[in-house]
Amino acid sequence: MEFKGSHILSIRQFERGDIDTLFATADSMEPYAQRRRVTRVLEGAILGNMFFEPSTRTRVSFGCAFNLLGGEVRETTGFSSSAVVKGESLQDTARVLSGYSDIICMRHPDSGSVADFASTSRVPVINGGDGPNEHPTQALLDLYTIEKELSARGRNLDNLRIAMVGDLKFGRTVHSLCKLLMLYKQVSITLVSPPELAMPAELVDEMRSAGIAVEQTDQLDQGIARAHIVYSTRIQEERFASVEEADMYRGKMRINQSIYTRHCEPNTVIMHPLPRDSRSDANELDTDLDDNPNLAIFRQADNGILVRMALFAQVLGVAHMVDQYSHDVRWHHRRG
Ligand code: CP
């Protein structure tokens, strides 16, 4: 794909070579993400961050990533603070905001809404999650994390065995990650969910046609038994018809240290896009795993900065100039 000037709406836009390019750029962002060096390569540029659904990681890490490249961020959060509540269409909103920004990140509760917005935008638009459909930048940072975690354990993506656990029907992160994994060979995916929250059948069929070995089960212990990566997900309460319906599934696929010790192979990596639901009736990823060195969830969230910096640098065509406009920080840098 041609990164420069492109909208990033779906993970399907990416080929293997694009992923390699992006991840090499992400690696080069480490001194800046760790605040050891400063770059001003995007000085004067403005990111329009438009989040019509709640977000902590995606919204803040997009903003931090842009700031770390020297650009500025303007945010709109929630429908109530946007003229969309007065009946303005997404297309008109895009026509206006693309005059104020050099790139726009957007999250919205409806599938296809970000593409709809992008259709009239004069600047690149990045999908920060459109309803249950896709979350492409999460899939990119997830794959980046999988590669890093496997590499630290002497493995690579070949023959990857991954178990995806939880709400696979509404979870957009797993939808995007499955589409991305179709680019890789000899991948095995075990889908672990209540039958009512199974991965959409058409996506399962597509993965099988692409050569992925897919198993489906509602038995957590069997599903996670041989995995290199266990990718847990939250019950997506906001996509259910009622809270009571979501309550029926909360806590059904709970992983804690005891379950991990009994059923996972040593060094199995635990991932989660976050937020994990830590309320007692859910607790899908127990806090008793927090001292387990194989719990990668916060390294995964940190990687969001690197990958999103890389994406901005590529889409705005400045990846080759980041170091040129840089210097060491003049204050002591963070530890750890
Ligand atoms: N993973 C993720 O999308 O988190 P937020 O909802 O906090 O952005």
Q: Name the residue with tokens 């009512």.
A: 196
Distance CA 128, CA 27 (A): 22
With a CB cutoff of 8 Å and minimum separation 6, the contacts of 104 are: 47, 48, 49, 50, 94, 97, 98, 117, 121, 123, 124, 125, 126
Q: Could you tell me the distance, in angstroms and rounded to a whole number, from the CA of residue 328 to the centre of ligand 1?
A: 31
Q: Residue 324 Cα, ligand 1 centroid: separation in angstroms? A: 32
136-298 has which fold? Rossmann fold (3.40.50)
- Tokens representing 181 are 């994994």
Give the pair of three-digit tokens for residue 148: 């890093």
**Cα 31 from Cα 39, distance rounded (Å):** 10
- Confirm or reject CATH 3.40.50.20 for domain 11-134+303-328, answering yes or no: no
- Residue 46 parent element (H or E): strand 46-51
Nearest to 233 by CA among 264, 261, 266, 191: 191
Percent of the chain surpassing pLDDT 90? 94
pTM: 0.96
pLDDT by residue (tens digit) across 127-161? Answer: 999 999 999 999 999 999 999 999 999 998 889 99
Pocket test for ligand 1, best of 50, 58, 234 (most atoms within 8 A of CB): 58
Q: Return the active site residues.
A: 57-58, 86, 107, 135
User: Domain residues of the chain, as ranges?
Assistant: 11-134+303-328, 136-298
| Domains 11-134+303-328 and 136-298 are alike in CATH topology | yes
User: Is 336 a residue whose pLDDT tops 70?
Assistant: no
Ligand 1 pocket, residue 159 CB under 6 Å: no
Q: What is the mean pLDDT of the chain?
A: 96
CA angle 298, 304, 310 (to 5 degrees): 150
Burial class of 146 by CB neighbour count within 10 A (0 to 12, 13 to 18, 19+): buried
